[in-house]
Chain A
């Protein structure tokens, strides 16, 4: 998408954020109903960061993701049915039911490195970036990580290497104010995370992570610079996780009303679209269309067969000689 964003572009981003929000609402429902098992980390409130950032990519680019990857999945346009089927552990899932919701990959779309382990997205991005630099085709890696990850050793290792080798990697820290239940100011002293870029000699930028246009602009500029050999960038997208950290969240760790200072990213984009003369009915139509698309994908996922364990024993036999 070109900058500045035209109305149709903003509509596309609004539609993706709507899909991400509704997807998370449905996943919450399906998890509670037991139709999807295992951990579930939704991105409610953080849609603008994931959608705005991924929209700055082009074919051939790569994104590495965190354990809270749904907005990036939507932004990278992973096919919705196989995506939900993977989360539900079905044979039609993108990894045949081996991955679950956290670590879905789609090599054809450049989704190469979601991970349930905090810090992996940073290290994988260094590797992708190195490969892209050697290939010399101007591809970039978008590395999405969280505020909890900035205190991992991997953060230091990755930013140092990316800066040292001037790799085309854009590190986006989705600062959602919490590392699991521990609030930002209780896990770092310097709460402006973009300030850390300076220590590595790379530009650090802080943006409103709930403003999809602002996130997109910052990532787009960083990507343009990286493509032309300008090296990595660190972008802190300040946002707020309004939902639970996972379905097992017992609560009791937040200050009441602390999220009131944050704008809902969907309300913000809807208001901007109305200000630009987009009819309310068009936005309602987006809501309805997304709901229909989602219902179809869920129906596909939940009516899909379970994977056959025989596919696994073939693998075991080759390695360990265990009879099927």
Chain B
């Protein structure tokens, strides 16, 4: 299987879906002529023209609101919001239009649209360009929140998102764009709403989101030398959540850590921990452990930024303590 970067895998998904379906349109700031500030939309305008690949004004609510209208009128828009932080400007259209219309009018029309954005730490971009805001969109009924961690999933999930009849928020991670991995040739869809076991293990389950999947796998390598067998689950779709797969793993191992880059308090790790506890309480040897960002804006300095989010080291220590329970 060939190796692609996460960015190239996304680009391939967009290209293939635009070829397959003439109703797919891409819009956002800098996506056409420039090819996207992270290069994800590179080459699309040359191939599909500037009517299907559209540079927009800096109008985040306008772009997402317009996409709702486009979707209701038969197009399949994919909006790129440059930084997840700027979702704040478009939450009105997501929360009050995309989410609501697909619910109330489900019997007569759907809102098939994708909002692609990216976030996360690691590039010293500072407090207004580094947030992990998946909890905002996971809190919206009828809106998918998807967070690919590998190039193969990036491609397979984006293709499923574009084909979904429901609105999808697709949260990429900036720190992963240049990471390479095997990506299947040809049609390989990854269904929305499914998690995957990226590394089987028997002592502890780690449920990780986005870039934290890599940290978890690295910690699992470290701990294997100490005789601790860690099962790493890539949650992949935060909403709907693959509760069954998460709970089954928790029942097998009896110990669970949930790990995300988003703020710890009131965040997605709380929801996942709660769901697992409800489903597997009898088999748990200890309360579910949660790891997330410290409750502060993300500082710009690289020396400070890394200290705000969990890492393989923090995770390994948590697992060692958990093994004593």
State the A residues within 8 Å of B (CB).
62, 64, 95-96, 98-99, 103, 105-108, 112-113, 115, 117, 119-120, 122-135, 141, 153-154, 156-158, 160-161, 164-165, 315, 318-321
B101 interfacial by beta-carbon distance below 8 Å: yes
Interface positions, chain B 54-87, Cβ under 8 Å from A, are: 54, 56-57, 59, 61-62, 64-75, 77
- For the complex, what is the distance from the CA of A255 to the CA of B80, rounded to whole Å? 48
The answer to whether A131 and B56 touch (CB under 8 A), given A107-B109, A117-B97, A161-B66, is no
**Which of B74, B96, B101 lies in contact with A135, CB distance below 8 A?**
B74
B68, A124: Cβ atoms under 8 Å? Answer: yes
Cβ of A320 and Cβ of B65 under 8 Å apart? no
Q: Residue B265 at the A interface, CB < 8 A?
A: no
Given A127-B73, A128-B69, A128-B73, does the pair A95, B107 have CB atoms closer than 8 Å? yes
Q: CA separation between A20 and B30, bound complex, in Å?
A: 46
Does A117 lie within 8 Å of B109, measured CB to CB?
A: no
Chain A residues with CB under 8 Å of B126's CB are: none
In the complex with contacts A117-B92, A157-B59, A123-B104 CB distance below 8 A:
no
Give min CB distance, A288 to chain B, whole Å. Answer: 33
Question: How far, in Å, is A114 (CB) from chain B's closest CB?
Answer: 10
- List the A residue with the shortest CB-CB distance to B93: A123
Which residue of chain B lies nearest to A123 when distances are taken between CB atoms in the complex?
A: B65
List chain A residues, Cβ under 8 A from B109: 105, 107, 112
Q: CB distance A321 to B73 under 8 Å?
A: no
Chain A residue at minimal CB-CB distance from B60:
A157
A315: chain B residues at CB < 8 Å are 103, 142
Residue of B69, B93, B101, B104 ringed by the most chain A CB atoms within 10 A = B69
Contact residues in B for A158 (Cβ distance below 8 Å): 62, 65-66
Q: How many A-B residue pairs have CB under 8 A?
A: 134
Q: B59 and A127: CB pair below 8 A?
A: no
Query: Contact partner of A64 among B69, B75, B100, CB < 8 A?
Result: B69
17 A-B contacts (beta carbon < 8 Å): A106-B108, A112-B72, A117-B97, A123-B68, A123-B97, A124-B66, A127-B65, A127-B69, A127-B71, A127-B73, A130-B69, A130-B75, A157-B59, A157-B62, A158-B62, A319-B240, A320-B240
Q: How far is the CA of A95 from the CA of B52 in the complex (A)?
A: 32
Q: Select one of A134, A141, A321 contacting B51, CB under 8 A.
A: A134
| Nearest-Cβ distance from residue B278 to partner chain A, whole angstroms | 10
- Contact: A131 with B65, CB < 8 Å? no
B residues engaging A (CB < 8 A)? 25, 51-52, 54, 56-57, 59, 61-62, 64-75, 77, 92-93, 96-97, 100-101, 103-105, 107-109, 141-142, 239-241, 243-244
Task: Give the distance in Å from the alpha carbon of A107 to the alpha carbon of B108 in the complex.
Answer: 7
B77/A127 in contact, CB under 8 A? yes
Q: Which 7 residue pairs across A and B have the least CB separation, nearest first?
A: A127-B69, A123-B65, A157-B62, A131-B73, A124-B69, A127-B70, A157-B59
Beta-carbon contact of B61 and A113 below 8 Å? no
- Residues of chain B with a CB closer than 8 A to A321's CB: 240-241, 243-244
Residues of chain A within 8 A (CB-CB) of B93 are: 120, 123
Q: Taking the nearest CB of chain A, how far is it from the CB of B68, in angstroms?
A: 6
Residues of A within 8 A of B64 (CB): 123
**A113 and B107 within 8 A (CB):** no
Residue of A107, A115, A127 near B96 (CB, 8 A) is A115
Q: Are B69 and A107 in contact (CB under 8 A)?
A: no
A105, B66: Cβ atoms closer than 8 Å: no
Known: A120-B96, A127-B66, A319-B239. A132 touches B73 (CB 8 A): yes
- In the assembled complex, the CB of A145 is this many whole angstroms from the nearest CB of chain B, namely 13
CA distance A64 to B65 in the complex (A): 12
Q: Which chain A residues border B105 with CB–CB below 8 Å?
A: 95, 99, 105, 107
CB closest residue in chain A, given B244: A321
CA distance A153 to B74 in the complex (A): 26
Cβ–Cβ contact B69 & A126, under 8 A? yes
Q: How far is the CA of A126 from the CA of B79 in the complex (A)?
A: 14
Cross-interface CB contact of A120 among B56, B67, B97, cutoff 8 Å? B97
